Amino acid sequence: MPARSPIAPMRLARREEARVLAHACAIAGAVTALTVLAPFSPTAPRALGAALTLVALGLWAALILGADRVRAWQLHAVLATATVLVTVALGASTTPFGALVGAVAYVWIAIFSGVYHRTTVLLRYLGGVTVGLAVGFWHAGTPSWPQAWAFLAATFVAVALVLNRRVSALRREAMTDPLTGAFTRRAFERAAELDMARASRIGMPLTLAVIDLDDFKLVNDAHGHARGDEVLVGLTQAWQATLPRDVLLGRRGGDEFVLLFPGRTLAEAENEVRALSDDLCGWSTGLAQWDGGRDLADLFAAADADLYASKRGETAAGRASSSAGGMGSEPAAL
């Protein structure tokens, strides 16, 4: 069974989620402004439309400015607010056509949640959408509203659930190594950049570790690639059982892995690395603590340099790994 990723993939998309939601608010504000300037009927609630335009643009500005530090609950608050505002606008509709057009806005809430949220969270939003749709139609006095509600609600729910299932599968494929379940290199780098931004903002330490399996080629040559795959999976499973959930584990490629330790100094990260299992294969490690100024490429270069020194036994990290059985040890008997 592949190792479980230490953090949910949704966390990695939070900045993107904030920016997409910001653009959606901007578009909603622009469309609402157009209905104020060119209403569906002389009885259209233009004052309400103007107020909703200002709210939407305000949410857009807040999300754009806070995209890099937004919290999950804040994004949920914005989306819940949007659901309520759509319901208010729908309930204030004065014509059947206006009510129908207003109801279509719910589909964007359903789609957004389908793309960015877990199924359990999506179902809560779909519940809010279906209830809001019924309340809005009822308050607006829309003709045959139960039939219209049933058709639209079923459509919104079906589209969102199908989309959610497919996007979740694609996200897992893109972000997790299919063999070990660790993050792919690209996903690891994205997550690391988010943690670096957070570390810079709050002033916490952060350390990167690079692990290279020793003589792993001998395992493949002597026992076959299937056994080599078992070693990779077994190691990552053992490491995941040991590592705290906030530590990122990624497969950089082949027999090389990377770990990011947020909130740890180099010495603290070294202690956690030393505790990792090497029962299936020995390994060497290189560590580098972020100084708050280097980019991720520089941090990788520093950790790689320490790894090469570790293999030559020239660093404290290398000596510690060696004493733990990770540096320069032979592959376990297979």
Domain boundary among 142, 175, 208: 175
Does residue 330 form part of some domain? no
What's the pLDDT tens digit per position in 270-320?
999 988 877 777 888 999 999 888 889 999 999 999 999 877 775 554 434
pTM, two decimal places: 0.68
**Quick one: 41 and 121 in the same domain?**
yes
Task: Tell me which residue range forms the domain holding 29.
Answer: 9-175
Does residue 329 form part of some domain? no
What's the pLDDT tens digit per position in 167-178?
988 888 878 888
**Quick one: 246 and 269 in the same domain?**
yes
207-235 mean pLDDT = 83
Contact 63, 54 (CB under 8 A): no
**pLDDT for 61 beyond 60:** yes
- Counting the structural domains of the chain, the total is 2
**Quick one: 168 and 259 in the same domain?**
no
> Parallel, antiparallel, or unpaired for β 283-289 and 206-213?
antiparallel
218-233 mean pLDDT = 79
**Quick one: 305 and 194 in the same domain?**
yes
Domain boundary among 156, 175, 194: 175
Which single residue is written with the structure tokens 């999950």? 72
Domain boundary among 112, 147, 175: 175
**Quick one: 248 and 295 in the same domain?**
yes
Does residue 332 form part of some domain? no
**Quick one: 22 and 129 in the same domain?**
yes
